Structure 1
Amino acid sequence: MRFDFVPFFNPGENIPWNRVVKMMREQTNLAEQADFTTVWLTEHHFAHNGYLNAPPNPIMMSLDLASHSKKIRVGQAPIVLPDWHPLRVAEDVALLDNMTEGRVDFGVAKGINERVTLQFNKEADRRDNEKSYRLFMESLEVILKAWTQDPFNHKGEFYEFPVPGWKETNRFLMPLEKEYHSEDGEYTGMYIHPRPYQQPHPPVWLMSNSPHTYKLAAERGFNVIGMSSPPGKLVSCWDAYANADSHDGTIHKSGDGVGVCAV
């Protein structure tokens, strides 16, 4: 068993953000001294009332806390993928993983705040829950491809990389390497840098209270964090994870690969 923590401060009270940052650093150092494994940073936006005093960018906050600690891991709980461009997430998290020398836990979700997601991406409108879920899963697929494939390309419902029809215009700076270009110079394959420090990539954590997501996570080799729930609901989620057929044949017991967030 491991113990992690999420720094929250007085929901509904506006606290100056320089003070919030200092308190997060202090709590992280105390958690490190107590041998906690990971500090998790949530993502919240447009909080006029100081809701949770949570950062809008958990990747930047992760870097700050890692730079003010020595060994505790930094995780995002979660990065709300439909609100982000997946290639930027792939680059930023891989860079964070290198800066921290492999102390990153990569946590993602499709988000729960309907007001917020629509401001960033009209395709992420939570009123169409199925579409929002497809966008989330495709974004995660893009990120994992970008970290592990060379050359990398993708064609899906929401994204296509490289964008078709673009040809190199400056061949002195960018020679036409056959792995990344067609014979006539069209850009056909990409390389995302840097590669993650942890190979093939940081541990992936999904945030959910759905047995379906637990099953999916186990099949893909991911972990899951769920909110504290009545014991019966927790066990049903854990059993869905344990009973799933993992991609690499790993056999899970109930409770393996899962975490509970108690607020």
Structure 2
Amino acid sequence: MKAHVLVQPYMRSKGEEVILPGSDPERFDTLLQRTTEQMQFADNNGFAGFCMTEHHFQVEGIETTTNPLLWNLHIAKHTKNLAVGQVGMALTAHHPMRLAEDMAMLDHMTDGRLFVGFVRGNTPRWLNTLAQHLDITTTQSDRSKEDMRNRRLMEESWEVVKKCWTEETFSHHGEFWDIPPKNVHWPFYPTQQWGGEGALSENNELKKMGIVPRPRKREGRDFPPLYVPFSWSMETAKFWAKEGAKLVAFVSKDEFIDMTMDIYIDECHKHGHSERTVGNTLVLGGHLTIGSTEAQAQQHYNDFEKLFNSAYNTPPYNVPMGRVWKGTVNQVIDQVGALREKYGTEEFVCWHHVGYFEQEEELEMLDNFAQVIKAFS
């Protein structure tokens, strides 16, 4: 059994009423120290990986996951074995060639411990700000004009990222990206000699480009393992099935997962990913509220529920809570065991709110889930 920690960092603790905690440098230093200590503990106690979502400008101190790639590098440099990744980076908020290059550098700097994940983005404050030059906004998967434009950008950006990772040099001319841009005169002697076949036209117009570096080679693939989070959009799920990605689901309704995985695995097989099964593709996640006693577990859950209803089950998100790792160690062992038996899955995720509870409480939660991992070792 493999278990990853999806860290949601908080700069406002339980019960605090403080203005603009996310703007406080000292609070960030405290968060950095606490997260580092907790991930070192996770590394030494059987956890397999660390990951984050991507958010920006969260001055309220809620889910301050600014730049997961830098977090990945920091955690990798302070641990020995933890894989590091994202679930995920918003493809619609970045130039895909720059993102591909940054991730490839990270892959080398972490000695190949990187996994990658992508999303469309669901937070208008920061996505609409960062993607305004492309006239991109967040959407509700409603097939509106804005929704379809957002989806086309995600799909095209992934196409560019994949070209960056799998081709030494390439060109791409789509709806959103021209790589290289047209009419770039480039009479550069090193490119003429060593830039690869087709890099320049007879008139020294730039025709192909590549990134430096490309990711490390893996057996059977040219880039790091691909994980994508799934909520309710079947169209997005089917897109990633074509790419053979692992599907990370926090959905608690088994009947919905059953239907989704039938479609997902069928789509994987249609596109040549014959190795994909539910067991090696479905990654099941839950919010971590495990306790050493039933009373403590219930208190953790009650505190978390207040947080969730104020930060997630509220406009503009309005998302359901999903699965929760709730109860004592033995109760969570039963929950994980039932899911392993039903789906055959060997990979799980703990959604862990670092900085919201006391440090000792959060370390105890990780320690308790480490006992769950050991029960299936």
TM-score when normalising by structure 1: 0.91
Task: Report deviation, 1:35.
Answer: 1.9
**In the alignment, which residue of structure 2 is the partner of 1:136?**
154
* 1:112 match: secondary structure: coil
**Deviation sequence 1:33-70 (CA, Å, 0-9, x none):** 22211101221112121112x32100111000000011
Which stretch of structure 1 is more off in the superposition, 89-98 or 125-134? 125-134
Q: What corresponds to 1:158 in structure 2?
A: 176
Q: What letter is aligned with 1:76? A: Q
Larger radius of gyration: 2
1:27–1:134: structure 2 CA closer, same or farther, 3 Å change rule?
Answer: same
Cα deviation 1:196-246 (Å, max 9, x = unaligned):
014400111222223333333232211121223322222222222222225
Are 2:102 and 1:92 aligned?
Answer: yes
Aligned to 1:234: 257
Higher relative contact order (CA 8 A, sep 6+): 2
Q: Is 2:244–2:276's contact at 8 Å kept on the other side of the alignment?
A: no
Asked whether 1:22 is paired with 2:41, we answer no
% identity of equivalent residues: 28
Equivalent residue letter for 2:73: L
Q: Give the match for residue 146 of structure 1.
A: 164
For 1:31-180, list aligned pairs within 5 A.
31-52=42-63, 54-122=64-132, 123=134, 124-127=136-139, 128-169=146-187, 171-172=188-189, 174-175=191-192, 177=195, 178-180=197-199
**Partner SS for 2:206:** coil
- Partners of 1:7 and 1:249 lie apart in 2 by 30
Q: Residue 239 of structure 1 aligns to which amino acid in structure 2?
A: D
Q: Which runs of 5+ in 1 are unaligned?
A: none
Task: Give per-residue Cα distances to partners, 1:117-146, cap 9 Å, x unaligned.
Answer: 110012321241111111111111100101
Is the contact made by 1:238 and 1:255 (CA closer than 8 Å) also made in structure 2? no
Measure the CA separation in 2 of the matches of 1:137 and 1:119: 20
1:166 to partner: Cα distance = 0.6
Given that residues 54 and 89 in structure 2 are in contact (C-alpha distance below 8 angstroms), is that contact kept between their aligned partners in structure 1? yes
CA contact (8 A) 1:220 1:246 kept: no
Cα deviation digits, residues 73-118 of structure 1 (max 9, x gap): 0011211111111111111000000011110011110011122211
Partner of 1:205: 227
- How far is the alpha carbon of 1:249 from its aligned partner? 4.4
> Between Structure 1 and Structure 2, how many residues are aligned?
261
Give the root-mean-square deviation of aligned CA atoms.
Answer: 1.9
Find the aligned partners of 1:211 and 1:217 in 2 and give their Cα distance.
Answer: 10
In the TM superposition, what whole-angstrom CA distance separates every residue of 1:127-179 from its partner, at most 9, and x where no partner exists? 4111111111111110010111122111111001010111114x345436543
CA spacing shift, 1:113–1:249, aligned 2, 3 Å: closer
SS at match of 1:152: coil
Measure the CA separation in 2 of the matches of 1:253 and 1:5: 23
Residues 214 and 241, structure 1, Cα contact 8 Å, conserved in 2: yes
The answer to whether 1:188 aligns with 2:207 is: yes
Distance 1:203 1:246 in 2: 20
Distance 1:18 1:249, change over 3 A: closer
Unpaired runs of 5+ in structure 2? 14-20, 140-145, 288-377
Question: Is the 8 Å Cα contact of residues 242 and 255 (structure 1) preserved in structure 2?
Answer: no
> Counterparts of 1:262 and 1:50 in 2: how far apart (Å)?
22
The aligned counterpart of 1:257 is 281
Residues in 2 aligned to 1:50 and 1:69: alpha-carbon distance in whole angstroms: 26
Give the TM-score taking structure 2 as reference length: 0.65
- In structure 2, the CA distance between the partners of 1:98 and 1:63, relative to structure 1 (3 Å rule), is same
Asked whether the equivalents of residues 38 and 73 of structure 1 are also in contact (C-alpha less than 8 Å), the reply is: yes
Question: How far apart are the structure 1 equivalents of 2:285 and 2:11?
Answer: 17
